[in-house]
């Protein structure tokens, strides 16, 4: 008897594949049409901040109003000597446009074509057209809150890192190197990449699509492989090894809390986790660590338990996503008091976007 979850997974995979064929056929034509017409479709506003050797592209999609934490992010970049460019994939109010322009070098408003990578691309090409000499370029999107700590040093660490391409977390898919990649909400490109032909070639030729799954496969996953396969070095703040080590470093009471949490957000692991938590032989921790080492639980950075993510790893970001698992994660973060040490504007926004276990899918 085939489990229902496997049947559902295969059906969803077939539906997903069927939705992609026309993008493979016509993506190039659509991209060229976008490039021809974007002068009319995009609005570029000059900002008050001068260009600099270190610049950042901040991609936002906030249809209602721009969050206070977004302005805080721009201030953080400027405090670190980084000149930001804002790309909005939705129209801005006049007030938000003016306030963003006061804190950025450029504000670009564009249609939401190609999602985050479409916005990244238009900003990269805009900077190129202005012949700005770049030594480092950060690319960040507002799917995360960043920075979340008052003393955040991620920008400093990224600038000091000698790698040509730097990110926060590297998804290492053992045996499937073409799918191993830096997660796309934070990149730092160094001078060797920026001064090469490869950098502009990648952005000019990238597939633009409004199929979110294809954005992950054709853009996010391919970016890391594209540059590393051409000899550019890569580094990251964390990877799966550091994530597993951080989880195993939790004291007993926190590890049990983390296991209970992962049983709710990684439901396939729930039966085995329940057996471990019910183990009265004193061997439960060894079994839990074996499960972690075997990547059967606690292997996803973005949904890691707050004790791992903040207590052990001091993560510089947290996911904004509205999905119940992230709302639940934020709820646990607040319940455990991690929000108290965060930047006030981030803590305030997080507290308005929390959920509990009752919202999780069963």
Q: How confident is the model at residue 330 (pLDDT cuts 50, 70, 90)?
A: very high
Q: What share of the chain is helix, strand, coil (3-state, %, to 5)?
A: 55, 15, 35
pLDDT of residue 215: 59
H-assigned helices in 47-113 = 68-79, 94-102
The verdict on domain 8-232 having CATH code 3.90.550 is yes
With 0.85 as the threshold, say if the pTM is over it.
yes
Nearest to 89 by CA among 135, 37, 143, 51: 143
The mean per-residue pLDDT over the stretch 228-254 comes to 97
Picking from 30-34, 75-79, 195-199, 290-294, which range would have the lowest pLDDT averaged per residue?
30-34
pLDDT tens per residue across span 274-308: 999 999 888 999 999 999 999 999 999 999 999 99
d(CA 319, CA 317) in angstroms, rounded, equals 7
pLDDT tens per residue across span 11-29: 454 544 445 444 445 556 6
Beta strand 144-145 pairing with 83-88: unpaired
Give me the chain's average pLDDT, please: 89
Reduce the secondary structure of 150-162 to three states and give it as a string. CCCCHHHHHHHCC
pLDDT tens per residue across span 340-352: 999 999 999 999 9
Which residues make Cβ contacts (< 8 Å) with residue 173, sequence separation at least 6? 179, 180
The mean per-residue pLDDT over the stretch 81-104 comes to 98
CATH 3.90.550 in the chain is located at 8-232
pLDDT of residue 21: 45
């Amino acid at each position: 008897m085939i489990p229902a979850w496997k049947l559902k997974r295969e059906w969803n995979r077939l539906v997903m594949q069927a939705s992609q064929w026309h993008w493979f056929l016509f993506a190039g034509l659509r991209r060229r049409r976008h490039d021809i017409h974007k002068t009319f479709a995009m609005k570029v506003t000059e900002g008050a901040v001068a260009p600099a050797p270190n610049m950042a592209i901040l991609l936002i999609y906030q249809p209602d109003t721009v969050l206070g934490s977004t302005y805080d992010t721009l201030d953080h970049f400027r405090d670190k000597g980084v000149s930001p460019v804002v790309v909005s994939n939705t129209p801005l109010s006049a007030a938000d446009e003016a306030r963003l322009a006061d804190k950025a070098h450029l504000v670009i408003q564009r249609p939401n074509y190609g999602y985050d990578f479409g916005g990244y691309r238009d900003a990269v090409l805009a900077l190129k057209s202005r012949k700005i000499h770049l030594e480092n370029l950060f690319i960040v999107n507002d799917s995360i809150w960043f920075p979340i700590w008052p003393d955040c040093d991620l920008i400093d660490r990224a600038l000091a890192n000698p790698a040509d391409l730097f990110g926060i977390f590297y998804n290492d898919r053992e045996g499937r190197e073409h799918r191993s990649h830096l997660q796309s909400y934070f990149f730092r490109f160094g001078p060797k990449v920026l001064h090469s032909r490869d950098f502009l070639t990648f952005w000019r030729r990238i597939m633009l699509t409004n199929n979110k799954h294809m954005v992950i496969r054709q853009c996010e996953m391919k970016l890391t492989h594209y540059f590393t396969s051409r000899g550019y070095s890569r580094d990251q703040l964390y990877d799966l090894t550091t994530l597993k080590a951080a989880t195993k470093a939790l004291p007993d009471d926190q590890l049990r809390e983390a296991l209970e949490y992962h049983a709710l957000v990684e439901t396939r692991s729930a039966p085995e986790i329940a057996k471990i938590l019910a183990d009265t032989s004193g061997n439960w921790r060894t079994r839990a660590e074996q499960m972690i080492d075997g990547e059967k639980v606690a292997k996803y950075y973005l949904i890691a338990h707050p004790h791992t993510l903040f207590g052990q790893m001091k993560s510089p970001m947290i996911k904004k996503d509205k999905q119940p698992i992230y709302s639940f994660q934020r709820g646990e973060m607040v319940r455990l008091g991690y929000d108290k040490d965060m930047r006030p504007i981030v803590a305030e926004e997080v507290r308005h976007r929390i959920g509990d276990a009752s919202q999780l899918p069963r």
